C-alpha cells in the first residue's frame, strides 16, 4: 500500500477527528497524516489468506483477528494499521469520541509493498516491537514466496526466522497457531523470476 503525507503539523485530536469522518484510512506519525492507498489484489489476497487461516484456528478462543481495519497506537504520536493483527483477552482500547484504537496487539503481519517497505521495516517495525503485548511480527513478501518472522524471546530480544518453502511451518507461540507458507500464498499468482 502506498502512503502519502496529506497533512502536516496535526495534533492527535485533529488526526482522530479526520479519521472518524474519512472513508479512507490514514496513519499518523509525529504530526504527519499519511493517506493509506488501496492495496493490490495480490496484497489483499495474501492478507485474507493469513487472516482466514488464523480466524479458523482461533475460533472459540478469546483472540480476535482483524484485517487492516483496526488502528493500533504504538507510541503517543504514532497510530498505524497492520495488514493483519490479532489480540487476545480483553482489548486495551484508547477511546476518543467514537474512535477506538488498540493498544495491545499480540501478533501483527505486514504485507510488504515497494512503496512502504522501508517504513514498514524501519520506524514502524521498531515501534511495534516496543509494545509489551506483541509476541510475533511478520514481513510477508508479495513478489516471492518469502516470510520473515520475528518472535519475542524470554529475554525480550527478537529472533528472526525466514520461511520460503511451501511446507515450511510457521509457529506463532503467542497465539498457539501454525501457518504454512502454502497457506499464506494459496491462490496467489506470484511473479515469475526473470533471469538476466
pTM value is 0.91
What pLDDT band is residue 39 in, cutting at 50, 70 and 90?
A: confident
> For residue 105, is it within any domain?
yes
pLDDT tens string 142-194:
999 999 999 999 999 999 999 999 999 999 989 999 999 999 999 998 876 44
Please identify which residue in the block is written with the cell numbers 501478533.
107
- Is residue 1 scored above 50 in pLDDT? no
> For residue 177, is it within any domain?
yes
pLDDT tens string 89-132:
999 999 998 889 999 999 999 999 888 888 889 989 999 999 99
- Is residue 196 scored above 80 in pLDDT? no
34/153 Cα distance (integer angstroms): 32
Domains in the chain, number: 1
> For residue 2, is it within any domain?
no
pLDDT at residue number 159: 97
Widest distance between CA atoms in the chain? 56
Domain enclosing residue 112, as ranges? 40-185
Q: Which helix (H) or strand (E) holds 9?
A: none
- Is residue 195 scored above 60 in pLDDT? no
161/1 Cα distance (integer angstroms): 24
CATH number at residue 177: 3.90.1570.10
Helical ranges in the chain per DSSP H: 12-21, 41-58, 117-119, 125-129, 181-185
What pLDDT band is residue 81 in, cutting at 50, 70 and 90?
A: very high
> For residue 120, is it within any domain?
yes
Grid coordinates belonging to 52: 482466514
- Is residue 43 scored above 80 in pLDDT? yes
pLDDT at residue number 194: 44
Residue % of the chain over a pLDDT of 70? 94
> For residue 180, is it within any domain?
yes
Please identify which residue in the block is written with the cell numbers 484456528.
57
> For residue 27, is it within any domain?
no
> For residue 135, is it within any domain?
yes
> For residue 35, is it within any domain?
no
What does the pLDDT average to over 1-23? 80
Please identify which residue in the block is written with the cell numbers 484508547.
94
- Is residue 51 scored above 90 in pLDDT? yes
Amino acid at each position: 500500500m502506498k502512503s502519502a503525507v496529506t497533512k502536516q503539523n496535526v495534533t492527535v485530536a485533529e488526526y482522530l477527528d479526520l479519521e472518524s469522518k474519512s472513508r479512507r484510512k490514514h496513519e499518523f506519525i509525529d504530526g504527519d497524516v499519511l493517506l493509506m492507498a488501496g492495496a493490490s489484489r495480490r496484497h489483499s489476497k495474501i492478507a485474507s489468506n493469513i487472516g482466514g487461516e488464523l480466524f479458523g484456528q482461533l475460533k472459540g478462543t478469546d483472540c480476535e483477528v482483524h484485517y487492516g481495519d483496526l488502528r493500533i497506537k504504538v507510541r503517543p504520536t504514532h497510530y498505524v494499521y497492520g495488514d493483519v493483527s490479532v489480540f487476545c483477552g480483553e482489548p486495551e482500547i484508547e477511546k476518543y469520541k467514537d474512535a477506538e484504537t488498540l493498544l495491545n496487539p499480540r501478533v501483527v503481519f505486514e504485507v510488504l509493498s515497494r512503496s512502504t517497505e522501508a517504513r514498514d521495516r524501519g520506524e514502524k517495525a521498531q515501534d511495534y516491537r516496543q509494545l509489551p503485548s506483541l509476541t510475533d511480527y511478520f514481513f510477508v513478501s508479495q513478489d516471492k514466496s518469502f516470510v520473515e518472522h520475528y518472535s519475542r524471546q524470554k529475554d525480550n530480544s527478537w529472533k528472526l526466522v525466514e520461511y520460503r518453502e511451501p511446507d515450511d511451518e510457521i509457529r506463532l507461540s503467542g497465539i498457539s497457531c501454525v501457518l504454512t507458507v502454502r497457506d499464506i500464498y494459496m491462490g496467489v499468482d506470484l511473479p515469475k523470476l526473470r533471469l538476466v
